[in-house]
Amino acid sequence: MAQTKEEDWSIVIKPRNDLFEVNLKEIWEYRDLLTLFVKRTITVAYKQTILGPLWWLIQPAITVIMYMVVFGGIARIPTDGIPQPLFYLGGVCLWQYFSSCLSSTANTFVAHSGIFGKVYFPRLIMPLATVISNLVRFGIQLGLFIAVYIYFAIKGLAPSPNWYLLLFPLLVVMMAGLALGFGIIVSSMTTKYRDLQILFSFIVSLWMYATPIVYPLSTVAGKQRWGYDVADLMCLNPVTPIIETFKHGALGAGEFVGWGWLAYSFVFMVIILAIGILIFNRVQKSFMDTV
């Protein structure tokens, strides 16, 4: 009677019961796939276009010019004494990174359902690839911001940065964490309710105007609404302290919002990421049945 040869499996794929589990070791083992997705996202973005990656510079440049005409010229909203191109560009760079990560991540399950249904890999690889690939775009746009800053510095019009600028890496991590958390929550919900994508794109558009991108927070400071300072109410938006800290550090604009509000944004990011991972882990077990 032939003996059955015992098989030794090197990888065992099994369902997870812990909804808060994030297997960082597994994600690290798939780092080559993560790198591949990052490269693919960057390459596909402007493939078969005439200007290619130059659009990453053209988009913020045109946006800033429009803001200068509408908000600076027609509405005459002040910019805390900062040259308008610098003020608007500082906010636009950070906001476009946040909104790009948010919009792309929110479409993870639906956009990549074909891949998810054919092969196994950690599902968080996809949203992580989106956040990392957008860093390249953000870096290029930040280079444009630095170039404009140098131009005004040569003219003697550039404001002096301060030591709060050292918080910049932390601010980028917080923006990425918020975008990832909100994005995977929306992505998990849109597997069943597709019309949420339309609603979410509308919310993101309104969200920008609830964030001090085209106006400084100082324009609403001291004004009362429902018995509270309007500036404090706006800081409940977790993106506001991040944007204001960057502008204050890089441009010296306005007043520092305070460590309390910055800590609030950080804690908010951690909580929204935890909730996102909870929902994501729950949905990924059966999303192929509904997507």
Sequence-distant (6+) residues with CB within 8 A of 176 are: 97, 101, 131, 135
Terminal Cα-to-Cα distance of the chain (whole angstroms): 49
pLDDT string in tens for the chain (291-residue length):
445 555 566 665 555 555 555 666 777 887 888 888 888 878 777 776 677 778 888 888 999 999 999 998 888 888 888 899 999 999 999 999 999 888 888 877 777 767 776 777 777 888 888 889 889 889 989 999 999 999 998 888 878 888 999 999 999 999 999 999 998 888 877 777 777 777 888 888 889 888 989 888 888 777 877 777 788 888 999 999 999 999 999 988 777 888 999 999 999 999 999 898 888 777 766 655 555
Q: How far does Cα 183 stand from its chain's mean position?
A: 9
